[in-house]
């Protein structure tokens, strides 16, 4: 059975994380993703990070660009722009992440390309969106986390601001863009026309702040850092056993009562400060002061075994090395070996959702720079969309 997006062509004119991540998700589902890169340098992520495997492309680039083909185009060159326009005629989707206004100066903005292909779904990913007083500001994940409120609510009280080490703004923008692209492609079946998608890191970060904005509007106060705790449930956080930390999640009344039985602290169910979840959230610090001495009486493994057997959610705190080698990650095939013409093989994260009828697959390794340039130009010539290859073909 064909992959669900087979027959959909995506032009990936993006760099670094949000756009490439979005396009890789589409590629994993079967889309033909053509990565259009600047000659000579390519995607700047090819040269990022302070370590390498065997080749010159960074592991960061390798992680974000599987299942794509690469062609280099100088979009300031009229000749190469003609190649882009020929590709646009064959495309369903285009993703770009230039600062607003740059695409217009390069002759690849939505109005220009819509005139060439009215069915084109054109996604722009930027720091702050195409409109508004901040639209011309440069935007990275850190900047978006700062102005969206994430930094103000992350970490621990009275400490320096803590960024979420996961690039939630970048990756969130990529995920939201993929969702919008697929919605637009489905909508095009009825309307016959594509549309412009305007996504931003700022809005992605803000949109993911569901609990934090709920607390703001519910209490009238901006959320402050609470470490590993949860804003809507308690106890729901990391706790310290006699030999280190683990996490618990007694997130409803039934779990709370079971949790107290396992701890041997059933007297706390009669304490009005902790009688309901709302009360426990309000008095979370007092609750943890009550529970802390109890947790110190047993090891992490003892507590995890006892709580798990009783049905209370709990887990050890694994580092990434432990997480990717865990029996669950192995069973779910969350580490894939990717073949590569230079690296030989390298490890990459697997597919985060499983498809029963059309399981995703690694069809192509992350491309070398301009690896498919000659191939793609020949395709365009054969389709009558390009008169001749405008650059010397590469192998």
71 in Cβ contact with 34 (< 8 Å): yes
Which residues, 6+ apart, have CB-to-CB distance to 148 below 8 Å? 169, 202, 205, 206, 209
Give the CATH fold of the 236-318 domain. Answer: formyl-coa transferase, domain 3 (3.30.1540)
Lateral strand order in the sheet of 9-13: 68-72, 32-37, 9-13, 93-96, 121-126, 196-200
Neighbours of 78 (CB within 10 A): 10
- Going residue by residue through the chain (395 aa), what tens digit of pLDDT does each one get? 889 999 999 999 999 999 999 999 999 999 999 999 999 999 999 998 777 788 888 999 999 999 999 999 999 999 999 999 999 999 999 999 999 999 999 999 999 999 999 999 999 999 999 999 999 999 999 999 999 999 999 999 989 999 999 999 999 999 999 999 999 999 999 999 999 999 999 999 999 999 999 999 999 999 999 999 999 899 999 999 999 999 999 999 999 999 999 999 999 999 999 999 999 999 999 999 999 999 999 999 999 999 999 999 999 999 999 999 999 999 999 999 999 999 999 999 999 999 999 999 999 999 999 999 999 999 999 999 998 775 644 43
Q: Among this protein's residues, is 170 annotated catalytic?
A: yes
Beta bridge partners of 244: 241
Q: Which CATH class is domain 9-208+328-383?
A: alpha beta
CA atoms of 13 and 126, how far apart (whole Å): 13
What's the Cα-to-Cα distance from 53 to each of 20, 59, 343, 373, 390, rounded to whole Å?
20, 7, 7, 25, 34
pLDDT computed for residue 391 by the predictor? 63
pLDDT computed for residue 50 by the predictor? 73
Could you tell me where the beta strands, DSSP code E, fall in the chain? 9-13, 32-37, 68-72, 93-96, 121-126, 196-200, 236-241, 244-249, 314-316, 335-340, 344-349
pLDDT computed for residue 395 by the predictor? 37
The CATH 3.40.50.10540 domain(s) of the chain lie at: 9-208+328-383
DSSP 141-181: HHHHHHHHTHHHHSS-TTS-----SS-HHHHHHHHHHHHHH
pLDDT in tens, 207-257: 999 999 999 999 999 999 999 999 989 999 999 999 999 999 999 999 999
SS3 assignment, position 91: coil
Which residue among 12, 170, 198, 370 is the active-site one? 170
What's the Cα-to-Cα distance from 137 to each of 98, 141, 195, rounded to whole Å?
12, 13, 24
Exposed/middle/buried for residue 109 (C-beta within 10 Å: 0-12, 13-18, 19+): buried
CA atoms of 281 and 214, how far apart (whole Å): 14
DSSP letter at 268 equals: G
DSSP 200-216: EHHHHHHHT-HHHHHHH
pTM here?
Answer: 0.93
pLDDT in tens, 78-92: 999 999 999 999 999
SS3 assignment, position 44: helix
The CATH 3.30.1540.10 domain(s) of the chain lie at: 236-318
Beta bridge partners of 126: 200
């Amino acid at each position: 059975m064909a992959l669900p997006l087979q027959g959909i062509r995506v032009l990936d004119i993006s760099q670094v994380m949000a756009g490439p991540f979005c396009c890789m998700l589409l590629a994993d589902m079967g889309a033909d993703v053509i990565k259009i890169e600047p000659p000579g340098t390519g995607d700047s992520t090819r040269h990022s990070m302070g370590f390498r495997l065997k080749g010159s492309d960074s592991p960061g680039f390798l992680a974000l660009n599987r299942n794509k083909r690469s062609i280099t185009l100088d979009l300031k060159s009229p000749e190469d722009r003609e190649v882009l326009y020929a590709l646009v005629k064959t495309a369903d989707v285009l993703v770009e992440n230039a600062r607003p206004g740059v695409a217009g100066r390069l002759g690849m903005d939505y109005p220009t390309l819509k005139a060439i292909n009215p069915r084109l779904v054109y996604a722009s990913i930027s720091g702050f969106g195409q409109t508004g007083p901040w639209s011309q500001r440069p935007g990275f994940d850190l900047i978006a986390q700062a102005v969206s409120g994430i930094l103000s609510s992350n970490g621990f009280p009275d400490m320096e601001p803590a960024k979420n080490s996961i690039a939630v703004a970048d990756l969130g923008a990529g995920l939201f863009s993929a969702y919008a692209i697929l919605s637009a492609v489905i909508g095009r079946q009825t309307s016959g026309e594509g549309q412009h998608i305007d996504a931003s890191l700022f809005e992605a970060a803000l949109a993911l702040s569901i609990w934090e904005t709920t607390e703001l509007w519910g209490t009238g106060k901006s959320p402050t850092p609470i470490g590993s705790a949860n804003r809507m449930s308690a106890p729901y956080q990391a706790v310290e056993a006699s030999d280190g930390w683990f996490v618990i999640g007694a997130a409803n009344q039934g779990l709370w009562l079971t949790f107290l039985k396992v701890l041997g602290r059933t007297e706390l169910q009669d304490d009005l400060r902790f009688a309901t979840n709302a009360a426990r959230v309000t008095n979370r610090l007092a609750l943890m002061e009550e529970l802390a001495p109890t947790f110190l009486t047993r090891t992490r493994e003892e507590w995890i075994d006892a709580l798990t057997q009783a049905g209370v959610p709990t887990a050890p705190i694994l580092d990434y090395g432990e997480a990717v080698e865990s029996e669950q990650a192995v069973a779910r095939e969350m580490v894939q070996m990717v073949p590569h013409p230079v690296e030989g093989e390298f490890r990459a994260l697997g597919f985060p959702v499983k498809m029963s009828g059309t399981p995703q697959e690694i069809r192509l390794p992350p491309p070398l720079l301009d690896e498919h340039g000659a191939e793609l130009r020949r395709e365009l010539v054969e389709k009558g969309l390009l008169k001749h290859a405008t650059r010397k073909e590469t192998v």
